[in-house]
Amino acid sequence: MKISVIGTGYVGLVTGTCLAEAGNEVLCIDIDKAKVAKMQNGAVPIYEPHLETYFERNIKSGRLHFSTNIEEGVDHGEVIFLALPTPEDEDGSADLSYVLGVANQIGGLMKDYKIVVSKSTVPVGTGERVKATLQAKTNVPFDVVSNPEFLREGFAVEDFMKPDRIVVGVESERAKNAMEKLYNTFVRTGNPIVFMDIKSAELTKYAANAFLATKITYMNEIANYCEKMGANVDDVRMGMGLDERIGKRFLFPGIGYGGSCFPKDVKALHKSGKDAQHHFAILESVIQVNEQQKTVLFPKMETYFKGNLKGRKITLWGLAFKPNTDDIREAPALYMIEKLLAAGATVTAFDPEAMDNVKAKLGDRISYATGMMAAVADADALLICTEWHAFRNPNFDNLKTALKSNVIFDGRNIYNPKDMTALGFDYYSVGR
């Protein structure tokens, strides 16, 4: 099939590349001329495992192309995916200006039947607004479809190629048949394509993300209580996770969630509820607790250094909001950095992929190391903010030699407290 993808951010680029890998002719559109030029020359603008391999292969095969010309995109695609940003507005709502703006352009350019698919995470009712926007600009027949993504950063290619489910909101048999044809190749193992109405599909994405964020936040609350009562959250987590009704995933406590989805989507669902005179009390608590959790280790650091962090060199391992990505949006590390700088500390950081993005945001307010061990040289403390695999088994003898004070503040609970004590470290984690 001929597919157009409008927007080449994280979701758009993965979607376009993976659809090309499945044999479709894909044209990706973006207004950023410099970015498009780089992609045309074979440069992947984001870090995502396995994406580069697919990207290069499909450019060489002639199935994956890039352009800044939206008219070209509308002419090309039988199916047009909207993979556009829906950033958080000042009041917490999702900003739909990009989605509706592009819909307005598409409506004025359509010459024959199109299926316009919202891949972006959007509030309930957005499909109706996209439909009305298109209808105001054209008499050409079209269908609007909601097809939310469920891609985990760091596993996005795998999730797209082998999805546990595909959710599609449709209004017509014509659109349903086309989407089924497009996605059948991805569900040959029997995982379902779940068809539903458009509003239900839109809400499914928000409901799923909000539930997972709530699960994480609940465990963080339990972890904080464990510390007060002298319990071990790892034991509690194991005991809970063995209950099939609960499950083992998303029960790992730490310094809060970040990224492009959970913070924004929880706030957007909360605001959508408020607009409909529905009070999501549980989501209000999730938002509040997560904000506090991002800096939960800071008071422990202050206490350890007797209330005076001025002039202390603190090393951060990890800047991305999670491993296997360069995404720093709402990353807890950034919140900790601001706290440390405000207290007069100096910060040196290392992250395998995210340092360039942090440099673009913070500039020379902090220092950046070339490697994880170089980062800890003469540091007063090590703070772990992201659980990259490279951090799990360092040479602890070398680590003790490099650190001025043998103290580690572990925001991701990647080490065993007993082991760290035996190795001679002062070790602080979350809930243990």
CA–CA separation, 144 and 83 (whole Å): 14
What's the confidence (pLDDT) of residue 302?
Answer: 98
**Identity (one letter) of the amino acid at 378?**
D
Residue 215, domain extent: 205-293
Catalytic residue set: 261
Tell me: do 40 and 114 sit in the same domain. Answer: yes
Tell me: do 350 and 417 sit in the same domain. Answer: yes
Tell me: do 267 and 359 sit in the same domain. Answer: no
Answer yes or no: is pLDDT of 338 > 90. yes
The pair of structure tokens assigned to 269 is 């669902």
**Identity (one letter) of the amino acid at 164?**
D
- 272: domain CATH number is 1.10.1040.10
Tell me: do 90 and 19 sit in the same domain. Answer: yes
Average pLDDT, the chain: 97
Q: Residue 80 burial by CB count (10 A; 0-12/13-18/19+): exposed, middle or buried?
A: buried
Answer yes or no: is pLDDT of 80 > 90. yes
Tell me: do 140 and 11 sit in the same domain. Answer: yes
The pair of structure tokens assigned to 61 is 């095969």
Count of positions (residues) in the chain: 432
Going by C-alpha positions, the residue among 122, 162, 93, 90 that lies closest to residue 102 is 122
Number of domains in the chain: 3
What's the confidence (pLDDT) of residue 261?
Answer: 92
CA–CA separation, 379 and 407 (whole Å): 10
Tell me: do 176 and 236 sit in the same domain. Answer: no
Going by C-alpha positions, the residue among 165, 149, 295 that lies closest to residue 209 is 149
Q: What percent of the chain has pLDDT over 70?
A: 100
Q: Which of 157, 174, 196 is the last residue in one of the domains?
A: 196
pLDDT in tens, 272-322: 999 999 999 999 999 999 999 999 999 999 999 999 999 999 999 999 999
Q: What is the average per-residue pLDDT within 116-137? A: 97
Answer yes or no: is pLDDT of 381 > 90. yes
Tell me: do 176 and 264 sit in the same domain. Answer: no
Tell me: do 90 and 32 sit in the same domain. Answer: yes
Going by C-alpha positions, the residue among 391, 299, 298, 304 that lies closest to residue 347 is 298
Residue keyed to tokens 């673009």: 360
The pair of structure tokens assigned to 191 is 């995982």
E-state strands within 230-368: 313-317, 346-350, 367-368
CA–CA separation, 368 and 351 (whole Å): 9
Tell me: do 315 and 227 sit in the same domain. Answer: no
pLDDT in tens, 174-202: 999 999 999 999 999 899 999 999 999 99
| Model confidence band, residue 90 (pLDDT cutoffs 50, 70, 90) | confident
Q: What is the average per-residue pLDDT within 329-337? A: 97
Q: What is the average per-residue pLDDT within 114-130? A: 96
CA-based angle 108:114:119, to the nearest 5?
95
Answer yes or no: is pLDDT of 260 > 90. no
Q: How many Cβ atoms are within 10 Å of 106's Cβ, its own excluded? A: 26
Going by C-alpha positions, the residue among 56, 58, 31 that lies closest to residue 44 is 56
Residue keyed to tokens 């904080």: 224
What's the confidence (pLDDT) of residue 197?
Answer: 98
What's the confidence (pLDDT) of residue 383?
Answer: 98
- 46: domain CATH number is 3.40.50.720
Answer yes or no: is pLDDT of 270 > 90. yes
Tell me: do 163 and 271 sit in the same domain. Answer: no
pLDDT in tens, 202-247: 999 999 999 999 999 999 999 999 999 999 999 999 999 999 999 9
Tell me: do 254 and 145 sit in the same domain. Answer: no
Going by C-alpha positions, the residue among 374, 308, 368 that lies closest to residue 337 is 368
Tell me: do 106 and 142 sit in the same domain. Answer: yes
pLDDT in tens, 35-79: 999 999 999 999 999 999 999 999 999 999 999 999 999 999 999
Distance (Å) of CA 98 to CA 84, 86, 123, 249: 6, 7, 14, 34
